């Protein structure tokens, strides 16, 4: 099950890299979140999770990031951007789940 989640995260990341960034969202701030940074941070955390366990500071940052999506997503009024950032959120949530599971499985 753990390997399948890692594969799923890799797939989400590949899909994310293939998707065009939402037009008009560069430099845009929504609910106190700069949208390019939200995107880049989510991908960065996901990438780090694929490499191994996060340290406490990175783990806390990832959890804070996943919570930010709960404020940001309802405030987006562009259909494509909602789809794009929902995908980014799903990637971050799966990364957090994998990092938590990593403590419980014998690798």
Domain layout of the chain by residue ranges: 2-19+31-102
What value does the mean pLDDT take over residues 72-80?
97
pLDDT of residue 106: 57
Confidence of residue 27 (pLDDT cuts 50, 70, 90): very high
- Write the pLDDT tens digit of every residue in 79-105: 999 999 999 999 999 999 999 998 776
- Across 9-47, b (16+ Cβ under 10 Å) vs e yields beebbeebeeeeebeebeeeebeebebeebbebbbbbbe
- Write the pLDDT tens digit of every residue in 45-61: 999 999 999 999 999 99
Residues 6+ apart with CB under 8 A from 76: 30, 82, 85
Half-sphere exposure (Cβ direction) of 98: Cα atoms closer than 13 Å: 28
- Taking alpha carbons only, the member of 70, 106, 103 closest to residue 85 is 70
pTM: 0.94
């Amino acid at each position: 099950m753990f390997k399948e989640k890692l594969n799923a995260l890799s797939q989400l990341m590949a899909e994310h890299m293939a998707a065009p960034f939402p037009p008009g969202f560069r430099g845009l701030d929504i609910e106190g979140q700069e949208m390019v940074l939200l995107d880049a941070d989510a991908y960065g955390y996901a990438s780090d999770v694929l490499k191994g366990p996060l340290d406490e500071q990175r783990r806390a940052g990832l959890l804070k990031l996943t919570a930010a999506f709960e404020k940001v997503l309802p405030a987006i009024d562009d259909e494509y951007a909602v789809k794009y950032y929902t995908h980014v959120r799903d990637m971050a949530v799966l990364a957090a789940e994998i990092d938590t599971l990593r403590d419980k499985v014998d690798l």
